Structure 1
Amino acid sequence: MSNNTNGAKMENGNAGKSEIDYDTLDKGPRLGIRYIITLLLFLLLAIAYGMRVNLSVAIVAMTDNTTSANPDIPTYDWDNKSVVLSSFFWGYIVLQVFAGQMGRTYGTKWLLVGAMFINSSACMLIPVMAAWLGSGGVMICRVVQGLSQGFFFPSIHTLLGQWAPVPERSRLGTVVFSGVAFGTIITMPVTGFISASWIGWPPTFYLFGLVGYSWLIVWAIFGASSPADHKSITKEERFYIESSLGQEQNTQTAKTPWKAIFTSLPVWATIVGAFGQNWGYSTLLTEIPNYMNKVMKFDMQSNSLLSAAPYLALFIFSFVFGQISDYMINNGYGSRGACRKLFHSIGTCIPGAALVTLGFLPEDATTLSVTMLVIAVGINAAVFCGFQVNVIDLSPKFSGILMGIGNGSSNTFSIIAPLIVQLVVTDETNKALWRTIFVIAACVYVATDIFFVFFASGEVQWWDSVDETDVERNNDATSDNRNNSTKT
């Protein structure tokens, strides 16, 4: 009963805001501060994923003394490459919920500065640790990188919840999330080229560490946790953002309604959606260079260039899907929830079908195999308009915490997926073994999408506007009403 009451209040509140004509409203300068924040967050993800991906490419050169013409470049005989690649996620899953809570309570600006500093420092230490402690040393650095990067996505969602106006949410969100693809596109060929050159693989880690340091300096100067904290934003742009989001008041003081969050089916839909995405994407991200090297017989430089091709498609499609999604929602061609479900299904089911097809293609069908990889990764961009941005729909106020819960828990699958590759693919040149990996990833994609379609929602949840005390009172009232109904 009280849930419906709160829902009605939310609908009435949103109705009041919808009376503002956002098409004619003065949104501030054409190059608004929200776009600068969006660009900086795009670069944050590009750098973060660059640091994730460079080891996936460099590890081929680190374990193969034929990739560089320089005999002095160190190489190692490691038989646990998939374990090394999965070690990043050992740290990544640990602090995400904590990061979301910290960002909402204290602001995200300086959290990101500190996290990027630690992340970049660990990246630059990888060559030294590899020489001193072998694969164990690399895993230590990767765990530290995972811990620090665990602050990135929750902080980004908290920032989007503060900076992305509702009419622009899909577009700005997909621009930010396309940094994942952009970082991968740049990193794979750059790392492959440097690793195959005379200077070898170690400088690739120094390069990305320096890029990370550069970003944190720029963010410290131009970044801000919210429009209210930014010194250069115009009154018009601030009003446009805050009136759209209904955040004229300070939202950092409200207590987190943990019980309501964990008993919300729409929240669980985003979590399950994240499960499927992280399983499939981490399998492709960490194993494509190895698959193309061992099965498709591409050399180091060709491997890195072709491995980047699917992520170029991901980068392009992310803008296409973001524009289409916002257009459909803003012009009444579908509700926000229906559009989230549609694009999530496109981003999981089509890549799943492409992976199954890839697994059954003959080994000499090189062009078609690359095409399937491009489809599997590129069309996956649609999930940016699905579960990824859906957490902001459900609760702009607590979106960082929701992302921390979903991304943190689901990345256990990012650990498991490479380890399953290590267990199943005992012969890396055997395509039949890789087929099993691709079919498993496709099944996970489809199964999690079905759950998302049934239980996801595009509406702001009633508990977004109340604190923990109100939630407990609401639950108690609901329980009393049920008891009275039972007695009657």
Structure 2
Amino acid sequence: MVTTRRFSLEPSGKFKGKTIGFRHLQCLLISLGFSLLFAMRVNLSVAIVAMMDNKGSNPDFTEYHWSQQTKSHILSSFFCGYILVQIPAGGWARRFGGRLLLLLSVTLSSIFALITPLSVSLGGWQLLCMLRFCQGLCQGVTLPTIATLMSKWAPIEERSALQTYCYSGAQLGIVVMLATSGVLCSSSWGWPSTFYLPGLLGLAWSCLWLVFGASTPRHCKHISAGERAMIEESLGHDTKSAEFAKTHAVPWKQIFTSKPFLVLIFNHCTNNWCFWTLLTQIPSYINSVLGKDIKSNALLSSLPYIAMLALSMICCPLASWLEKSKLLNATVSRKIFNTIGQWIPVVTLVSLGYLQPDQGDLAIILLTVTVAINTIGHFGYAVNHLDLAPNFAGTLMGIVNCSANVMSIIAPLVVGYIVTDTTNVYQWRIIFTVAGGMSFSGNLMFLIFGTAKQQPWNNPPQIVQEAEPLKSLSVDAEKLEKVQEKV
């Protein structure tokens, strides 16, 4: 006798969840925590401009005469630590719960942010690199942890919307940090304040998460019974499937031989190359090519991410409505959003490389469109790991993010070696063209080979029960006949 346990991960015919519930508070807290982590990640992109040129900010603070190569090493050091724990982080989140890992990530990152100014004064760029490396280690668990949390908290009918709400915290952190960093660097507190502010806010967030955060609806004391039942019904969770997701061995061979998953890795890598090239280099480009001072630099650097955040908030309800109404199946929806998010930036990036320094306004417009449109891809590739294998969402995200953030290390280094003269528009043209080519090839592969269908290796193995021996069955039949004769 063979018993097959399989639960559906397709949207139900009629979604009965409340518009606002405790799951949305979880997403809000995750989004805010993610925004603080990104603020602590990108603050150096603007702060390093002030550290290497204090004339445009606060001259009372020490100026560091680092080369462009040294600057590239500093900006890349975070990601050297970031990629190391990506893959094991998914397993840790399954075993220990996402609540604990996210708490440790934000708390330790905040402490490292607070001691950054002291470390620079004591050990120079070498100690700064080491500190950023450690901060990268702490933040390396973030995305696998969020993926694991969302696999337990987000109903199928709200998956892409809730996940994108969480990811939008990244844009919020970037916007706030870049928009305020110019003022902070020019204030009496100087560039160190760009590390103190997110560090203190991160510790405050940790207190809130300690009270309200939960790994799953079952572990949450504040959620209503109705909302908990609705989430678990949508996800198909039961005792056996939950135990499977926690204890079953990861099917490594099936994962790394899965064509849809390998395509997802490639797509994520190409997107990260484009995203981090812009995120780490926009302040330098605006300062060197467009000739803007530190205050206007910070505001202009944040403008693309303001547009990105706004567009993300507009598209979330649209994506959620499309999923609930089932006008498009998941695979078609993912590919449409991914194409918009990755092929429109190809045109704007290549165009950006052919602008002249006196076309600053047009350059800002193209940068804004490039970064803002890219957020639509979050409804495509960024939630695809949940489609392929929700039971191993954290592990898949860890593998994908580990691979993709190799690009986060390489991209700034490539910029450092190609852009030897930051005022040379022809050198920047190479950078933008390469980024555009990466974005184009990533989505092309996703269109051809990508899918949102759940993979067979996500499910628990079939439970096989041995049939009773024929001999014992015949003995039972004889006993039954004797009883009937007596009656």
TM-score (norm 2): 0.90
Task: Select which of 310, 316, 324 maps to 1:316.
Answer: 310
Task: Return the alpha-carbon distance in structure 1 between the equivalents of residues 107 and 321 of structure 2.
Answer: 38
Task: Return the alpha-carbon distance in structure 2 between the equivalents of residues 320 and 31 of structure 1.
Answer: 17
Task: Return the alpha-carbon distance in structure 2 between the equivalents of residues 364 and 68 of structure 1.
Answer: 24
Task: Return the alpha-carbon distance in structure 2 between the equivalents of residues 65 and 237 of structure 1.
Answer: 54
The answer on whether the counterparts of 2:158 and 2:323 sit within 8 Å (CA) in structure 1 is no
Residue identity matched to 1:414: S
Offset, 1:321: 2.7
Residue identity matched to 2:364: V
Offset, 1:267: 1.1
Offset, 1:435: 0.5
The residue that corresponds to 1:61 in the other structure is 50
The residue that corresponds to 2:333 in the other structure is 339
The answer on whether the counterparts of 1:359 and 1:439 sit within 8 Å (CA) in structure 2 is yes
Task: Select which of 286, 301, 304 maps to 1:292.
Answer: 286
Residue identity matched to 2:253: K
Alignment of 1:55-454 (within 5 A): 55-69=44-58, 71-79=59-67, 80-249=70-239, 250=242, 251-454=245-448
- Radius of gyration: which is bigger? 2
Q: Which runs of 5+ in 1 are unaligned?
A: 471-488
The answer on whether the counterparts of 1:192 and 1:300 sit within 8 Å (CA) in structure 2 is yes
Task: Return the alpha-carbon distance in structure 2 between the equivalents of residues 397 and 316 of structure 1.
Answer: 31
Task: Select which of 26, 31, 35 maps to 1:42.
Answer: 31
Task: Return the alpha-carbon distance in structure 1 between the equivalents of residues 261 and 57 of structure 2.
Answer: 49
Residue identity matched to 1:207: L
Task: Return the alpha-carbon distance in structure 2 between the equivalents of residues 248 and 352 of structure 1.
Answer: 45
The answer on whether the counterparts of 1:127 and 1:202 sit within 8 Å (CA) in structure 2 is yes
Task: Return the alpha-carbon distance in structure 2 between the equivalents of residues 279 and 417 of structure 1.
Answer: 6
Q: Report runs of 4+ in structure 1 exceeding 3 Å deviation.
A: 20-23
The residue that corresponds to 1:480 in the other structure is none
Residue identity matched to 1:77: H
Q: Which runs of 5+ in 2 are unaligned?
A: 464-487
1:426-470 deviations in Å (ceiling 9; x for gaps): 000001100100000000111111111111111221211125x98
Offset, 1:116: 1.7
The residue that corresponds to 1:485 in the other structure is none
The answer on whether the counterparts of 1:260 and 1:463 sit within 8 Å (CA) in structure 2 is yes
Offset, 1:394: 1.2
Task: Return the alpha-carbon distance in structure 2 between the equivalents of residues 384 and 98 of structure 1.
Answer: 23
Task: Return the alpha-carbon distance in structure 2 between the equivalents of residues 325 and 45 of structure 1.
Answer: 21
1:117-171 deviations in Å (ceiling 9; x for gaps): 2211111121111111111111111101110000100000000110010111121
Residue identity matched to 1:113: L
Q: Pick closer, same or farther for the CA change 1:237–1:21 going to 2, 3 Å.
A: farther
The answer on whether the counterparts of 2:5 and 2:460 sit within 8 Å (CA) in structure 1 is no
The answer on whether the counterparts of 1:90 and 1:146 sit within 8 Å (CA) in structure 2 is yes
Single out whichever of 389-398 and 244-253 deviates more from structure 2.
244-253
The answer on whether the counterparts of 1:181 and 1:315 sit within 8 Å (CA) in structure 2 is yes
Task: Return the alpha-carbon distance in structure 2 between the equivalents of residues 189 and 321 of structure 1.
Answer: 23
Query: Aligned with 2:338: secondary structure?
Result: helix
Residue identity matched to 2:419: V
Residue identity matched to 2:443: D
RMSD: 1.9
Residue identity matched to 1:401: T
The answer on whether the counterparts of 2:57 and 2:294 sit within 8 Å (CA) in structure 1 is no
Identity %: 39
Single out whichever of 156-165 and 253-262 deviates more from structure 2.
253-262
1:87-127 deviations in Å (ceiling 9; x for gaps): 11000000011111110122111112122222111111211
Offset, 1:21: 4.9
Residue identity matched to 1:406: V
Residue identity matched to 2:61: I
Task: Return the alpha-carbon distance in structure 2 between the equivalents of residues 211 and 454 of structure 1.
Answer: 44
Task: Return the alpha-carbon distance in structure 2 between the equivalents of residues 40 and 362 of structure 1.
Answer: 43
Task: Return the alpha-carbon distance in structure 2 between the equivalents of residues 57 and 132 of structure 1.
Answer: 21
The answer on whether the counterparts of 1:347 and 1:380 sit within 8 Å (CA) in structure 2 is yes
TM-score (norm 1): 0.90
Alignment length (residue pairs): 456
Task: Return the alpha-carbon distance in structure 2 between the equivalents of residues 283 and 148 of structure 1.
Answer: 22
Pairing 1:33–2:27 present? no
Q: Pick closer, same or farther for the CA change 1:234–1:21 going to 2, 3 Å.
A: farther
The answer on whether the counterparts of 1:85 and 1:418 sit within 8 Å (CA) in structure 2 is yes
Task: Return the alpha-carbon distance in structure 2 between the equivalents of residues 410 and 359 of structure 1.
Answer: 24
Task: Return the alpha-carbon distance in structure 1 between the equivalents of residues 223 and 188 of structure 2.
Answer: 48
Offset, 1:322: 2.5
Residue identity matched to 2:52: T
Residue identity matched to 2:327: Y
Single out whichever of 357-366 and 368-377 deviates more from structure 2.
357-366
The answer on whether the counterparts of 1:68 and 1:198 sit within 8 Å (CA) in structure 2 is no
The residue that corresponds to 2:485 in the other structure is none
Offset, 1:181: 0.7
Task: Return the alpha-carbon distance in structure 2 between the equivalents of residues 412 and 248 of structure 1.
Answer: 37
Residue identity matched to 1:298: K
Task: Return the alpha-carbon distance in structure 2 between the equivalents of residues 55 and 208 of structure 1.
Answer: 12
Residue identity matched to 2:254: A
Offset, 1:9: 7.9
Single out whichever of 197-206 and 35-44 deviates more from structure 2.
197-206
Residue identity matched to 2:141: F
Query: Aligned with 2:166: secondary structure?
Result: helix
